[in-house]
Copies of this chain bind each other. A is one copy, B any other.
């Protein structure tokens, strides 16, 4: 994916933020869209009681969620305002326990087709100021017109 533009149109960025901020699940976790460039996106999340698993680490489901969201918003930077995308599927590998105070997911578009977009994300946990890779995701997104939120994933 060669993305020649390195900054995102301001109006487009606001539209993506508005969509992100309307996601109750992400807001309940204080997730933030910390960076967006064409074809890429970064999301971060602070440690809290409601993102833990039983040993006090970040929960795998939380890691999967922000990886999925990071890939999805990376795709949306190339689609909005004409169209947007839904996750058709994703696959995630957990490679280290997510012990730390912040979780960061970095998504990028690998291939942007007309109907399907393939994206990936890496998730890092920040512990004592150092980033450590904790998960790797690969994902297929389905492009839909911006106006039809109720369309079926298939």
Contacts and interface: CB of A to CB of B under 8 A. Distances in A.
A89 B118 CA distance: 10
A97 to B, nearest CB: 6
A113 interface: yes
A10 interface: no
Nearest to A67: B61
A44 interface: no
Interface residues of A, number: 60
Nearest to A55: B149
A22 B55 CA distance: 8
Interface of A: 19-20, 22-28, 48-55, 59-62, 64-66, 68-69, 86-97, 99, 110-118, 120, 133, 136, 138, 140, 142, 149-154
